[in-house]
Structure 1
Amino acid sequence: MKKNLFFFTTLVLAAMLLIKAGCASDNTETTNKPAVSTKKKVDKHLNLSIFLDLSDRIDPKKYPNQTMEIYQRDLGYIKSVGEAFQAHLNGSKISGMDESIQLFFEPEPKAPEINDLAREMKFTFDKSNVTTETISSVVPTYVSCSEKIYNIALKDNKYIGADIWTFFKNKVKDQCIKPAHRNVLVILTDGYMFHQDNKVRVGNQTSYLTPELIKEAKLNSSEFASRMDADKFGFLPATSGLEDLKVLVIGINPQKGRNFEDDVIKKYWSDWLQAMGVTAFEIKGIDLPTYMDNIIKNAVTVKN
Structure 2
Amino acid sequence: MKKKILSLLMIFLITCICSKGTKAQQNQNLNISFLLDLSDRIDPKKNPGLYQRDLQYIKSVEKLFVKHIKRKKMLLLKDQMQVFFNPIPEIQDIELLSQQLKVDFNPKSSKNDFLNLDKVYNDKPVKIYQYAIKDGNYIGSDIWRFFKNNVQQYCIKPDHRNILVILTDGYMYHKNSKIVIKGKSSFITPEFLAQKKLNTANYLAVMKKSNLGFISFPYNLKELEIMVLGINPSIQSPYEEDVIKQYWSDWFKAMKVKRFELRTTDLASSVEAVISNFMK
Give the alignment's TM-score, normalised by structure 1.
0.81
Cα distance in 1 for residues equivalent to 2:63 and 2:78: 18
Corresponding residue of 1:267: 246
SS at structure 1 position matched to 2:193: helix
Give runs of aligned pairs for residues 1-304 of structure 1, distance below 5 A.
44-61=28-45, 63-65=46-48, 69-128=49-108, 130-300=109-279, 302=280
Task: Give the aligned CA root-mean-square deviation in angstroms.
Answer: 1.7
Distance in structure 1 (CA, Å) of the matches to 2:65 and 2:217: 28
Cα distance in structure 1, aligned partners of 2:118 and 2:245: 30
Q: Give the Å deviation of 1:45.
A: 0.5
Residue-by-residue CA offset, 1:113-135 (whole Å, 9 max, x unaligned): 1221111010011102x223212
Helix, strand or coil at the partner of 2:31: strand
Describe the superposition over 1:161-216 as per-residue Cα deviations: whole angstroms up to 9, x where unpaired: 00000101111101100011100000000000000111111011000111111011
- Check whether the contact 1:168–1:239 (CA below 8 A) recurs between aligned residues: no
Give yes or no for contact 2:185–2:213 (8 Å, CA) kept in 1. Answer: yes
- Checking the alignment, whether the CA contact within 8 Å between 2:92 and 2:131 is kept in structure 1 is no
Question: Match for residue 15 of structure 1?
Answer: none
Q: Measure the CA separation in 2 of the matches of 1:296 and 1:140.
A: 21
1:173 partner SS = helix
The 8 Å contact of residues 75 and 146 in structure 1, kept in 2 or not, is answered as: yes
Aligned partner of 1:137: which letter? N
Aligned-residue identity in percent:
42
Structure 2 CA distance for partners of 1:299 and 1:137, relative to 1, 3 Å: farther
Write the distance in 2 (CA, Å) between the matches of 1:266 and 1:72.
Answer: 23
TM-superposed CA distance for 1:96, in Å, is 1.4
Distance 1:92 1:266 in 2: 36
| Equivalent residue pairs, number | 258
Quote the offset at 1:112 in angstroms.
Answer: 4.4
Question: What stretches of structure 2 of length at least 5 have no aligned partner?
Answer: 1-23
CA contact (8 A) 1:166 1:238 kept: no
Give the direction of change, closer, same or farther, for the CA distance of 1:64–1:97 in structure 2 (3 Å limit): closer
User: Counterpart amino acid of 2:114?
Assistant: I
Secondary structure class of the residue paired with 2:93: helix
Q: Distance in 1 between matches of 2:122 and 2:218?
A: 32
- Matched-pair contact (CA < 8 Å) for 2:41–2:47: no
Change (3 A) 1:133 1:239: farther
**1:220/1:261 contact within 8 Å kept:** yes
Range with greater deviation from structure 2 (246-255 or 233-242): 233-242
